[in-house]
């Protein structure tokens, strides 16, 4: 039943989300495709390219459905899987733009108006799309404040951390892998882990081994703004000890160590 839900509800919903992500590029492409198909003007190469694009999408759905992760993934994750196929669809968006740009219109004013429309649309996409996307990436993907504070504390964590030498046996797949010698650092931003050259990822129930299949070794959390007299942090004190506070540019950060983390 769960598989059926994945297949008939989850996947189309997910695809709709991803399609919406690229709507301003994808919509003209679908219109051009529909028109060229209905007029029987689709060339053999176009047909081949479209068939390959469709095949990509179907195969990706199948692959993501095998481990039933399609429904679990958020839009950002899905966009990364399906977005790589988008340039094939843009071929028809480009065709639309090129056809409008060079439309055989006799009146110069109309021709100029058509070209201005194409140019304005492209400019709008370029400016708003990139500005919004980059602003989102800057504010969510990184945190310069967190990085500054993490750089201050990184040498201390590296000196403090004493193990483990290796992570053993992943039962689902057997064998050993040795990539968890770096401390697992959780924080408000992944920048904390990068400054320590550590890792930052939660335990996962995937069928493939996770990078960090256990509890974080260190928590590096923003306590509040500088000058604040009292801080309230929701940390399980039975599992984590407060190690030290670290000043950032405008904020104060606290380092907590798991009680069972091997340290010097």
Partner 1 sequence: MTPTRLPGLAVAAVVLIAAAALTVAYCLPLAATDTLCRYAPMAEAFASGDWSEAFHPRFAVGGTVVAGLFVFLPGFDGLTACTVSATLAWALGALVLFRLAGRIFDSRTALFALLLYCICPQPLVWALKGLREPFKMLGLLLMVDAVIRVKDRDAASFAEACAAVVFLCLFKCDAILLALILGVVYAVRDGFRLRTWALTAWGAVVLQPMCALVWHWTGYWLPAPHYVPLWQKLIGG
Identify residues 22-51 at the interface with partner 1 (CB under 8 A): 22, 25, 43, 45-46, 48-49
Cis peptide bond N-terminal to 45, omega within 30? no
Report if residue 245 touches partner 1, rule: CB under 8 A: no
Using CB under 8 A as the binding rule, the residues of this chain from 180 to 219 that contact partner 1 are: 181-182, 190-191, 193-194, 197-201, 207-211
Using CB under 8 A as the binding rule, the residues of this chain from 74 to 133 that contact partner 1 are: 79-81, 83-88, 90-91, 93-95, 97-98, 101-102, 122, 125-126, 129-130, 132-133
The structure tokens listed for 234 are 């929701």
Report if residue 17 touches partner 1, rule: CB under 8 A: no
> Which stretches does DSSP call E strand in 20-150?
none
Starting at the edge strand that comes first in sequence, how are the strands of the sheet with 240-247 ordered? 185-187, 218-225, 251-258, 240-247
Q: Are 82 and 57 in contact (CB under 8 A)?
A: yes
In whole angstroms, the minimum distance from the beta carbon of 99 to partner 1 comes to 8
For partner 1, which is the closer residue by CB, 117 or 173? 173
Q: Are 194 and 182 in contact (CB under 8 A)?
A: no
Among 6, 60, 160, 217, binds partner 1 (CB under 8 A): 60
d(CA 241, CA 223): 15
In whole angstroms, the minimum distance from the beta carbon of 47 to partner 1 comes to 10
Q: Are 181 and 189 in contact (CB under 8 A)?
A: no
Q: Binding-site residue total for partner 1 (CB under 8 A)? A: 73
In whole angstroms, the minimum distance from the beta carbon of 153 to partner 1 comes to 16
d(CA 100, CA 113): 10
Rounded to 10 deg, the angle between the 11-21 and 75-82 helix axes is 80
In whole angstroms, the minimum distance from the beta carbon of 237 to partner 1 comes to 26
For partner 1, which is the closer residue by CB, 47 or 245? 47
Stretch that binds partner 1, among 136-144, 156-164, 231-239, 250-258 (CB under 8 A): 136-144
Q: Quick count: other Cβ atoms within 10 Å of Cβ 246?
A: 20
Report if residue 179 touches partner 1, rule: CB under 8 A: yes
């Amino acid at each position: 039943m769960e598989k059926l839900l994945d297949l008939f509800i989850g996947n189309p919903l997910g695809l709709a989300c991803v399609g919406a992500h690229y709507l301003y590029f994808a919509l003209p492409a679908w219109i051009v495709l529909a028109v060229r198909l209905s007029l029987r003007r689709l060339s053999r190469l176009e047909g081949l390219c479209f068939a390959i694009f469709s095949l990509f999408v179907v195969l990706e759905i199948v692959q993501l459905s095998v481990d039933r992760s399609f429904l679990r993934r958020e839009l950002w994750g899905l966009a990364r899987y399906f977005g790589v196929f988008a340039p094939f669809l843009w071929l028809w968006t480009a065709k639309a733009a090129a056809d409008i740009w060079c439309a055989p219109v006799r009146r110069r004013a109309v021709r100029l108006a058509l070209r201005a429309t194409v140019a304005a649309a492209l400019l709008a996409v370029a400016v708003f799309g990139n500005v919004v996307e980059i602003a989102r990436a800057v504010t969510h993907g990184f945190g310069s404040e967190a990085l500054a504070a993490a750089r201050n504390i990184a040498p201390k964590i590296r000196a403090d951390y004493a193990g483990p030498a290796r992570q053993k046996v992943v039962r689902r797949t057997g064998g050993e892998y040795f990539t968890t010698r770096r401390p697992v650092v959780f924080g408000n931003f992944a920048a904390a882990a990068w400054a320590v050259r550590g890792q930052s990822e939660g335990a996962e129930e995937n069928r493939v081994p996770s990078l960090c299949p256990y509890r974080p070794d260190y928590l590096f959390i923003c306590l509040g703004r500088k000058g604040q007299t009292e801080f309230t942090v929701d940390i399980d004190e039975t599992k984590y000890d407060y190690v030290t506070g670290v000043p950032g540019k405008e904020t104060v950060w606290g380092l907590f160590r798991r009680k069972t983390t091997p340290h010097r």
